[in-house]
Structure 1
Amino acid sequence: MSKAVHQSDFLFKQVYDYVIHRIERKEWKEHDKLPSVRKMAADLKVHRLTVLKAYQLLKEHGKVYVKDKSGYFVQACEKTTPEMIDPPILAASVQKNHLYDIHQTPGLFNFSQALIDPNLLPNHFLSDYVKKVFDLYPKVLATYSTVQGDEELREALTNYFMNKYKTFLGAEDVMITSGSQQAIHLISQAFIKPRDTVLFERPSYSAAIDIFRAQGAHIVTVDIHAEGYDLEQVEACMKRYKPRLFYLNPTFHNPTGYTVPAWQRKKLVDLAEKYRCLLIEDDAYHDIYFTQAPPSPIYTYDTAGTVIYIRSFCKYISPGLRISAVICQSPLIRSLLAAKSLADNGSPLLNQKIFLHYFLSLRMQQHLEKLRIALQIRKEIMEEELSPTGWQWTCPNGGLNLWVKLPEHLSTEWLVEPCIEQSISFVPGVVCDPLKQSSSWIRLSYSYVNEIQIREGIRRLVKIAGY
């Protein structure tokens, strides 16, 4: 290979440039077949999804064309212009989000997106609240929110949490962010310096892993099981590594679907106080349960200010609103507000007001009741289609995903390319593993595809796997 691909740069763009370079040097001539996605990925030592994205970009730019089930071929190109061969401007250093390439892959059977099927969201009702907000706040588009978030919304959330969990809370303890990912990013900026130790569940939410790694954190893992954590392991890690914080997702955990029992939640707070370790509780799916509501959040046991609680709502109402709430006590909230003031002047006020009025209505609870039933049906259909394979998973009581263990001989790395060819996407387990070792696991989301797509997509996946 005449051109190396470096991990620190935009990988797919470098693959793109590599192919262009070979074409311009006439090493690959018009109508020559490019190496397969698998071979190119192996040669350049990058992920197949990175190569696939580069090939798709080449196709969009008219540099290659596709023959059905035959691969990618060099297009008969127009004369190269100087602009085309100028070197690209590359970022000095960017830690990539490993889910990004997966989510950019088109697919009819999209089992990689832990999002709700738009057909299950209250789109019609939300349009009513948009009109209502403009009637009540005619200057809403001409007004910034405060950095901390709309006071009316923070008061409403305060009342909701106090009534539901019987905990004392003030509006000054709540900050509104543009989604939970922004909240995690702000926490990493406010509390983590390079080489600080951060505890992570294994497996865990991929974007959070990438965010803390980008901040220079040293990650130490704690296993999560269907029964919760091994608290002796947690305490041993806190005692030995003295972590700054422990990022956890204890309710319908992403990707496993596990829920940590109430008695462990109380014990975790005790350990955090003892070893002066912040607990970052990411609670994205609390309202998506099927048989019984989950235990109260960990933050409800906190009296010493050791928990930062991130609660997402818009994933199952309207992802485009991008509303999450961060709840913590005074010294912590001040640090987060300082970090957020550098990021923006506050989350969009229009979005906050739309969410506020829907949140206060009876329609939200009615929507959640219907949504739980629809998602449970989809989960059960996916489990039904997977059951003949003998593959292993723990049936979750909520959330959006199944965490499936494949037989040892079946590598997810091998599955990716033939699945993409069949319009199937999933999240490989290595993406969710801070140690990058879970090569026999996959995350399948049942929430973004309808019942017919689940049946057909899983049947195709199972057939590709040889079952």
Structure 2
Amino acid sequence: MHIDLNRQSRSSLPQQISDTLEQRIASGLLPPGSRLPSVRGLALSLKVSQVTVSKAYAALAARGLIHCSHGKGCYVAAGESGQETAGDWQDRYDDYLPRAQLWHNFKDSAVAYPFHLAAIHSSLLPLREIGSTMASLVLEQPEVMAAYGNFQGDHELREVMAGHLLRRSIRVQPEELMMTSGAQQGIDLVARTFVGPGDTVYLEAPSYTGAIDVFAGRGAEMVFVPMDRDGMRVDLLTRLCDRRPPKLIYTIPSYQNPSGVTMSLSRRQRLLELARSYRCLIVEDDPFSDLYFQSPPPPAIKSMDAAGHVIYIKSFSKVLAPGCRMACVAADGNILSRLIAAKSSSDLGSPLLTQRAMLPFISGKYDAYAGKLRRQLSQRLEKATALLERHAPPGVSWITPQGGLSLWLELPASVNINRLQKLAEEKGLSFLPGDVCYAGGIPSRHIRLCYSQMTEQEQEQGMLLFLGLLQAYLQEEAAAPSGIALKL
């Protein structure tokens, strides 16, 4: 088993080992019953002492994540076995995935009420129009399928994207844009190009699960900066940077995922000033800024960037056609050149067919469509918050976002969110637990509920079912003797 250890980190080696294994267990990479390497074997593999590994295993056992017995070894909890199975060799086959929460969160998409998934219901998306364009291309210009796309992206589409961003006060030339297969690929390319083991990456607390996975995979030292109603606490970030200079700052300033918070204009300006002073990069992830319900969010940080410190990633996947996977990346100078080089070795260019299929809609119909979509999503948010106000148990709180797709709920401290999640799944419900939006096993009392990925009728049914379940959970918990597991 491979684990990247940073011997200059402030975290001890046993802590780094136990944190990595805990993340593997939580994300399903080490399923229940998996046999862990022996203490001696892992110590040799990682070039550490057996005492170091023993301390890591003891910490995991104390948290109930693994069971160890003399002569049998250590196993992930709930499924201990003393006999080797045909798949045991796979558990001991090295990989380089310290954490992988994103794929695990998508496994529950078949539930009746998938509140965990930040997506828009298909009935609200322009799928028929985009599909019709794609069908016409296949029939009338089949040669498009025989061509590799430009590594940087189709030039005509980049021209349209430059105009789209200009209307949002971001002044870029088509040559300063790169098309990617969704924002996730853009984040991954940035990390693979500029982040290495031990580099300090600052993120909002909480942050997007997919970005955390990517930075963890690069061996980054992730530092989570608390937020308030105006976004990331830049004053705290500044003090942290004095002690640990940043290599990169990752932010979702508009309708942040998962919290829904929007960063104020003054904080955006101060964040850019900080990046200038430390000569570091800001990755500005922008999937939701077009989904505002009253007034647009403050200007993008990229619109104020004159020295090339901001890599701006604008996703169109969620708002148009998730299956087409499309985003554009805006960056300057040599930063963009290196990202294009990374992309060329990653996929030889995004598919030309999907770029050409989405081009007519983005160039001619997008703004009117976005306005209609905002009204539809605003109505759904109003219904969701009305249900919360009427039926949420005491102690449940939330901040109503001004845009985006999700609600971030804080539950009473007494709620065991893992247990609640299992009870919800039994009822055909799913939600995103807040602890996956941090790294290193940071506990959270929050959950994310998306209000846009079902029909309005399904949304209401699912919300009432969930709130009823939560109410029953709290009542049973209050009545149950200490230490008795709940059965709802």
Specify the TM-score bucket, using the shorter chain as the normaliser: 0.7 to 0.9
1:170 is displaced (CA, Å) by: 1.4
Distance in 2, matches of 1:190 and 1:412, equals 36
Amino acid at match of 1:366: A
What are the residue-to-residue correspondences of 1:22-61 with 2, within 5 Å? 44=66
Distance verdict in 2 for CA 1:326–1:98, change over 3 Å:
same
AA aligned opposite 1:401: S
Matched, 1:152 2:152: no
Distance in 2 of aligned mates of 1:107 and 1:51: 25
AA aligned opposite 2:382: E
Q: Which of 389, 394, 402 pairs up with 1:397?
A: 402
Structure 1 residue 274: Cα displacement: 1.0
For residue 403 of structure 1, give the secondary structure of its aligned residue in structure 2: strand
- Residue of structure 1 aligned with 2:212, choices 209, 214, 219: 209
SS state at 1:314 partner: coil
Whether the 8 Å CA contact 1:305–1:329 is kept in 2: the answer is: yes
Distance in 2 between residues matched to 1:264 and 1:147, nearest whole Å: 35
Q: Which residue of 1 aligns with 2:438?
A: 433
What SS does the corresponding residue of 1:116 show, helix, strand or coil? coil
For residues 248-267 of structure 1, the aligned pairs below 5 Å read 248-267=251-270
Cα deviation 1:363-386 (Å, max 9, x = unaligned): x23322222122112212221222
Q: 1:271 to 1:136 in 2, by over 3 A?
A: farther
Q: After superposition, what is the alpha-carbon deviation per residue over 1:239-281, rounded to whole angstroms, capped at 9, x for unaligned?
A: 2211101000000100011111122212211111011121100
Taking the aligned partners of 2:206 and 2:85, their CA distance within structure 1 comes to: 44
C-alpha deviation, 1:314, in angstroms: 2.0
In 2, Cα distance between equivalents of 1:201 and 1:131:
42
**Is 2:383 the partner of 1:381?**
yes
Q: How far is the alpha carbon of 1:42 from its aligned partner?
A: 5.2
Counterpart of 1:321 in structure 2 is 324
2:162–2:173 CA contact under 8 A, matched in 1: yes
Are 1:129 and 2:133 an aligned pair?
yes
Q: Deviations over 1:268-310 (max 9, x none)?
A: 1111101112110000111111111111110000001100000
Q: Is the 8 A contact 2:131 2:357 kept in 1?
A: no
Distance 1:343 1:273 in 2: 30
The farther-off stretch of 377-386 and 177-186 is: 377-386
Q: For 2:367 and 2:23, how far apart are their aligned partners in 1?
A: 46
Q: 1:168 to 1:8 in 2, by over 3 A?
A: closer
Q: Which residue does 1:28 correspond to in 2?
A: none
Q: Does 1:452 align with 2:457?
A: yes
Is the alpha carbon distance of 1:136 and 1:286 closer, same or farther for their aligned partners in structure 2, counting shifts above 3 Å? farther
**Residues 350 and 407 from structure 1, CA distance in 2 versus in 1: closer, same or farther, beyond 3 angstroms?**
same
- The residue identity in structure 2 corresponding to 1:232 is D
In structure 2, the residue matched to 1:218 is 221
Q: Any gaps of 5 or more consecutive residues in structure 2?
A: 1-19, 36-62, 68-75, 473-488
Match for residue 368 of structure 2? Answer: 366
Whole-angstrom distance in 2 between the partners of 1:450 and 1:394: 23
Shift in alpha-carbon separation, 1:299–1:8, aligned structure 2, 3 A: closer
Determine the structure 2 residue equivalent to 1:198: 201
Aligned partners of 2:369, 2:205: CA distance in 1, in Å?
33
Within 5 Å, give how 1:77-88 maps onto structure 2.
Answer: 87-88=89-90
Change beyond 3 A, Cα 1:139–1:452: same
Q: Does the C-alpha gap of structure 1 residues 136 and 462 become closer, same or farther in structure 2, counting only changes over 3 Å?
A: same
Aligned to 2:113: 109
Q: Is the 8 A contact 1:178 1:324 kept in 2?
A: yes
Distance 1:133 1:294 in 2: 36
Partner of 1:443: 448
Alpha-carbon distance change, 143 to 218 in structure 1, aligned in 2, over 3 angstroms: same
Deviations 1:5-63 (A, max 9, x none): 966878747547769xxxxxxxxxxxxxxxxxxxxx95648xxxx999x9xxxxxxxxx
SS at match of 1:169: coil
Q: Distance in 1 between matches of 2:329 and 2:168?
A: 17
- Paired residues of 1:202 and 1:434 also in contact (CA < 8 A): no
Residues in 2 aligned to 1:141 and 1:8: alpha-carbon distance in whole angstroms: 40
CA shift in 2, pair 1:342/1:201, >3 Å: same
Aligned 8 A contact 1:413 1:439 in 2: no
Matched residues in 2 for 1:203 and 1:13: separation?
22
Give the 3-state SS of the residue equivalent to 1:201 in structure 2.
Answer: strand
Q: How far, CA to CA, are the matches of 1:173 and 1:308 in structure 2?
A: 11
Shift of the 405–242 alpha-carbon distance from structure 1 to 2, 3 Å rule, reads same
Percent identity, aligned pairs only, is 32
Question: Does the residue aligned with 2:344 lie in a helix, a strand or coil?
Answer: helix
Q: In structure 2, do the counterparts of structure 1 residues 306 and 448 end up closer, same or farther at CA, with 3 Å as the change threshold? A: same
Total equivalences in the alignment: 408
Give the whole-Å Cα distance in 2 for the aligned partners of 1:182 and 1:435.
Answer: 23
Q: Deviations over 1:206-256 (max 9, x none)?
A: 110111011010011211221223322121122221110100000010001
After superposition, the Cα gap between the structure-2 partners of 1:450 and 1:269, relative to the gap in structure 1 and judged at 3 Å, is same
Change (3 A) 1:201 1:7: closer
Larger CA deviation: 127-136 vs 388-397: 127-136
Partners of 1:410 and 1:465 within 8 A in 2: no
- 1:92-145 residue CA offsets vs partner (Å, 9 max, x unmatched): 332342132232123101100001111211122112222443467441000001
CA distance in 2, matches of 1:266, 1:13: 40
TM-score, structure 2 as length reference:
0.78
Answer yes or no: is the 8 Å Cα contact 1:9–1:93 preserved in 2: no
Aligned pair in 2 of structure 1 residues 331, 85: CA closer, same or farther (>3 Å)?
closer
Provide the aligned C-alpha RMSD in A. Answer: 2.6
Q: Aligned to 1:437, what secondary structure does the other structure show?
A: coil
Cα distance in 1 for partners of 2:210, 2:466 equals: 25
> Structure 1 unaligned runs (5+)?
20-40, 55-81
Q: 2:121 corresponds to which letter in structure 1?
A: D
In 2 relative to 1, CA 447–243 (structure 1 residues): closer, same or farther, beyond 3 Å?
same
Match of 2:425 in 1: 420
Match status 1:246 vs 2:249: yes
452-461 vs 105-114, which moves further: 452-461
8 Å CA contact 1:8–1:94 kept in 2: the answer is no
